[in-house]
Amino acid sequence: MLDTIRKLLGIAPQLESDGSYSPSKIALKLWTSGTTDFENISYTKYQWKKSKILVIFTEQKNMTMKNGKKFSTGNHPVEAILPMLHLKNAGFDFEIATPTGKPVVFEMWAFPKEDTHVKSLYDEYKSNFEKPMKLHDFVEESLDDADPYAAVFIPGGHGAMIGLPEDRNVSKILHWAKENSLFTITLCHWPGSLLSTTLDNQEFIYKWYDMAVFPDSVDNFTPFIGYLPGKMPVGLSERLKSLGANIVNTKADKTVCVDRKLITGASPLASNELGKLAAETLLKELS
């Protein structure tokens, strides 16, 4: 009876063909849009040797919630593509990677289908999204030479919390970026990937850093309107706090933050602001 009432009210998560759940009709109306707030800024383009940005995506789709139901997730397209648009406009190029080289998984239910800028960049890199580099290959072939690289970008989406926090190659790359003074850019749930730096009893390399991250309080609320099909298996912001991170936001808003070489954003709403901040910061520091 309760499930029927939730369906009638539009707050029941929607069952997909593989048995996972995407957000309810109400949740999609509240938190997705056909367009974005992307600002098409003409930056003075970067023209020196540190022009590459490694972008680490998840290749996994389904997150198991506490009640056993699976959330249809992956990489949030707005959180990935808006920062990439700004960084591309600023003169940077991308190397696309997933843990094992399987295709990038996007939350296509969140794709802004009326946004021509997002669609253009997605189409431009579609072949790279479908056949990305393996993180293992990057570790084996590129860690000896940091000179061509400006940053590591790990886009947003709940999918960051599936596999990446336990991936030793992600840990190696984040340590490499920090040791070589490269920028690390991330937002929303993707600071979950930063947890990989604690594998094998290592100290969290972002201890005492200020960062913006999606609040656990919002994740705890969203099952009530069907965005998530159940409660999160773990709380991200509290976990980061327990490791010594200073979370600068309390809402899922447009908050962005720079602390040393770490650039972070709070939520999908921060995607455009994060892109601008990342582009402007890299141009200022590297030009």
Q: DSSP readout, 69-111? A: PEEE-SB-HHHHHHHHHHHHHTT-EEEEEESSSPPP-B-GGG-
Q: How far apart are CA 223 and CA 76, in angstroms?
A: 18
Q: How far apart are CA 286 and CA 129, in angstroms?
A: 27
Q: How far apart are CA 135 and CA 161, in angstroms?
A: 17
Q: Which residue has the tokens 């021509």?
A: 116
Q: How far apart are CA 88 and CA 184, in angstroms?
A: 16
Q: How far apart are CA 92 and CA 282, in angstroms?
A: 10
Q: Which residue has the tokens 């960084």?
A: 87
Tell me how crowded residue 251 is: count the other CB atoms within 10 A of its CB. Answer: 13
CA nearest 163: which of 131, 199, 207, 110? 199
For residue 188, the Cα-to-chain-centroid distance in whole angstroms is: 6
The single residue of 85, 151, 170, 188 carrying the catalytic annotation is 188
Residues making up the chain, counted from first to last: 287
Tell me how crowded residue 137 is: count the other CB atoms within 10 A of its CB. Answer: 12
Annotation marks residue 257 as catalytic: no
| Cβ neighbours for 141, distance < 8 A, ≥ 6 positions apart | none
Which residues are marked as active site? 188
